Structure 1
Amino acid sequence: MMRKITILLLGLLLIPVNGLAAGNSKVSVDVHYLVVSAAEDGSTNMMNMVNYTNQSEKDYTGEGSGEAVLHVTLPNEAKDLNFLDNKIAFKQVDKGFITTTPILGNQTMVLPYSYRMPKEQEIKLTVDYPVQTMQILVPEGRGSIEVKGIQSTNQGLFKFDDQNYWGYSIEGIMPKQTFTIVYNKDVQPAADSGKQNQTASTAGSNSTVTHTAPAFHNPGHLRMWAQSPFHRFNPHVFLIILSAIIIAGISYYAYFRRKARLGEERLGADQEERAFKLLMAKQKAIMDKIIELEDTFGDGKLTEAEYLAKLDAYKQHLVQVKLKLRDFID
């Protein structure tokens, strides 16, 4: 199950998100994926995959003179921190961990990590950087969540690798903003909760959960988009432009291929027409020679032997021409 969740997070990193002004922060989070599920001992697994984007052209090495590049605050009582990318250096500190690997200018660093929370305990999350979108995913049949302290959206069910997930979306989280997730592994969402047009106020808070949203994109997308030179483009617009270029290229190729083929066919037809006219001219010339030979023999200018020899030669030549003409007619 943990392996499937890791693959899911890697695949989801291409889902497009809406823009969010990062304010004065040089680093913002394009999208934060969080998969919440129950562990065998009853604790709560928290699998995270976060896209940190450097807004500057210069490499980002953190604020101040310390070694920390990114600060990640974890909930109180979080335990068993597991960092899933050995190419990024990190250190565990009080209330979370830091990374020490710089983020290249105008590039995105993908930070994968997980931790566990005690059983049936409310999970208080605090973000350290502006977050455009947080997507919280719960495997179908493994409980449900309630979000307090911030507006969230129930996005219904989607399927990945033979496993369904309930999706919840939070937009526009500001730095140092705190909200709470209540996970209950024994309470499942209603089957139609992702389709009803309604809002539900959370008791004791100003949170509103809206039960309408577009479905998730296909989670088979690769995270390489976030690290590619095109990651700043809207993937949908980029796909439309790329499709238009491909279609135009195919259309032009087909057009010029057809034009060349018609030209070849026309050239072939012209050559056949010239050959046919040449054979017709030869046939007429032979017939004229035979008529002339008859006149010459009638005037007594040729002996019978000479006449028959020339007539036989003309007839053989005429037969060959007629056979070639028959090829055109047949």
Structure 2
Amino acid sequence: MQPELKRKTSLFLVFFLLSLLVTVGTVQAAPEETISVSMHHYILQPGSKGMLDVKEIVVVNNQGAEIAAGAGKVKFVLPEGYQDLIFAGGTEQLVEAKGQELVVTAAVPKGESTYRFGYLLPAGAAPHFILKHRLPYPTETLFVLTPLQGVSVSSTKLVDGGVSQEQQARIYMADNLPAGEQVDMVVTLGAGAAAGGVTQPPPNPKFHNPGHIRLWYQSPFKGINAHLFMVMVIGVPLAGLIYYVFKRRQMGDALKAKGDPEEEMFHRLMAREKVLLQKIGELDEKRANQEVDEDTYRQLREAYKKKLVNVKAQLKEFTG
């Protein structure tokens, strides 16, 4: 009985750990989508000549091998009608503007790379600006930051993340956006903007506190999928607890059996009785099918019955 329990416990742990490894492999493999965006920031504020000043900070995560310079596999889409494209943080040496696309011409190393650029956007129907953006890659988190006053953002894809006292800005956000997702924003400046900004969230939006997200991306674990990390943090200790409970129960049963030899003998006799009854039944079936002759049948059945009578007599001593 004890080896069987130990075997089941070991099998349970093996299957649990294998399931974790399969999950990790499933999340990390995705060979067809090695490029994703960890964070995409839009920083919106009033610009010169009544235009909208837009700055973008894109953190690209290359989960595959390094992409060679000139491959042009990583690119960003610029909005229609943009003007005065500028770069920051050395991005001008890494990219090239081609129409409405910003193509990365430098090598893209494995891991995260950051690209910073900005432009001016003319008004659609003043004081409103239409900012349309189709995501070329899966995006974990999209942030839109505006001043506390004088700018509002309306979008069905964003939710109001509140005010960041640290950055003195209002934050709009969305997370876990698939590649190809269309995010359209209507930005209003000046007197036409609602105080603090207004957004139109979809029903029951799913998002995380911006402070928590910021802390996560500043932590050493930012390269791991946050939801998978949570599963591992909860699952591994839970597996350890289950193993501990099984082990304690196993040790308790062993000590109990060791401390009570009569009980151990009783269980052995019960098992012996069961085996003998089974053998008699099998022998009767073989005789009915004419698989054994009459003499062999009688000899074996008599031997089994004698042993069974002896076992029952010993069991009677335990039960009184």
Provide TM-score, normalisation by structure 1: 0.51
After superposition, the C-alpha distances for 1:85-120 in whole angstroms (9 at most, x for unaligned) are 226421110112111122222x10011111111023
Alignment of 1:83 onto 2:87 = yes
- Provide the alpha-carbon RMSD of the alignment: 3.6
Distance 1:102 1:157, change over 3 A: same
| Equivalent of 1:137 in 121, 134, 145 | 145
Distance 1:50 1:121, change over 3 A: same
The question of whether the paired residues in 2 share the 8 Å contact of 1:81 and 1:116 is answered with yes
For residues 98-117 of structure 1, what are the structure 2 equivalents within 5 Å?
98-105=103-110, 107-117=111-121
For residues 163-242 of structure 1, what are the structure 2 equivalents within 5 Å?
164-186=168-190, 187-189=192-194, 200=200, 208=202, 215-217=209-211, 225=218, 231-233=222-224
Distance 1:210 1:47, change over 3 A: farther
Q: Which has the larger radius of gyration?
A: 1
Alignment of 1:94 onto 2:82 = no
The question of whether the paired residues in 1 share the 8 Å contact of 2:152 and 2:198 is answered with no
Q: Give the SS at the match of 2:155.
A: strand
Distance 1:152 1:218, change over 3 A: closer
After superposition, the C-alpha distances for 1:114-167 in whole angstroms (9 at most, x for unaligned) are 11110233111112111111011111113100014xx32111111125xx2111
Report the Cα distance in structure 1 between the residues aligned to 2:173 and 2:28, rounded to whole angstroms: 15
How far off is 1:231 after superposition?
A: 3.8
The question of whether the paired residues in 1 share the 8 Å contact of 2:151 and 2:196 is answered with no
How far off is 1:181 after superposition?
A: 0.7
The question of whether the paired residues in 1 share the 8 Å contact of 2:162 and 2:170 is answered with yes
The question of whether the paired residues in 2 share the 8 Å contact of 1:61 and 1:69 is answered with no
* Partner in structure 1 of residue 133 of structure 2: 125
The question of whether the paired residues in 1 share the 8 Å contact of 2:132 and 2:185 is answered with yes
For residues 284-323 of structure 1, what are the structure 2 equivalents within 5 Å?
none
More helix per residue: 2
The question of whether the paired residues in 1 share the 8 Å contact of 2:149 and 2:196 is answered with no
Alignment of 1:55 onto 2:63 = yes
The question of whether the paired residues in 2 share the 8 Å contact of 1:74 and 1:126 is answered with no
For residues 21-40 of structure 1, what are the structure 2 equivalents within 5 Å?
24-40=32-48
The question of whether the paired residues in 1 share the 8 Å contact of 2:59 and 2:113 is answered with yes
After superposition, the C-alpha distances for 1:240-260 in whole angstroms (9 at most, x for unaligned) are x9xxxxxxxxxxxxxxxxxxx
Q: Give the SS at the match of 2:186.
A: strand
The question of whether the paired residues in 2 share the 8 Å contact of 1:154 and 1:169 is answered with yes
The question of whether the paired residues in 2 share the 8 Å contact of 1:152 and 1:210 is answered with no
Q: Give the SS at the match of 1:30.
A: strand
Runs (5+) with no aligned partner, structure 1 = 1-18, 195-199, 201-206, 242-330
Distance 1:193 1:184, change over 3 A: closer
Report the Cα distance in structure 2 between the residues aligned to 1:190 and 1:21, rounded to whole angstroms: 45
Q: Work out the percentage of aligned pairs sharing the same amino acid.
A: 17
The question of whether the paired residues in 2 share the 8 Å contact of 1:50 and 1:112 is answered with yes
The question of whether the paired residues in 2 share the 8 Å contact of 1:31 and 1:131 is answered with yes
* Partner in structure 2 of residue 42 of structure 1: 50
Distance 1:61 1:210, change over 3 A: farther
Q: Using CA pairs below 8 Å that are at least 6 residues apart, which structure has the higher relative contact order? A: 1
Report the Cα distance in structure 2 between the residues aligned to 1:212 and 1:222, rounded to whole angstroms: 17
Report the Cα distance in structure 2 between the residues aligned to 1:208 and 1:124, rounded to whole angstroms: 18
Report the Cα distance in structure 1 between the residues aligned to 2:164 and 2:115, rounded to whole angstroms: 24
Write the letter of the residue equivalent to 2:178: M
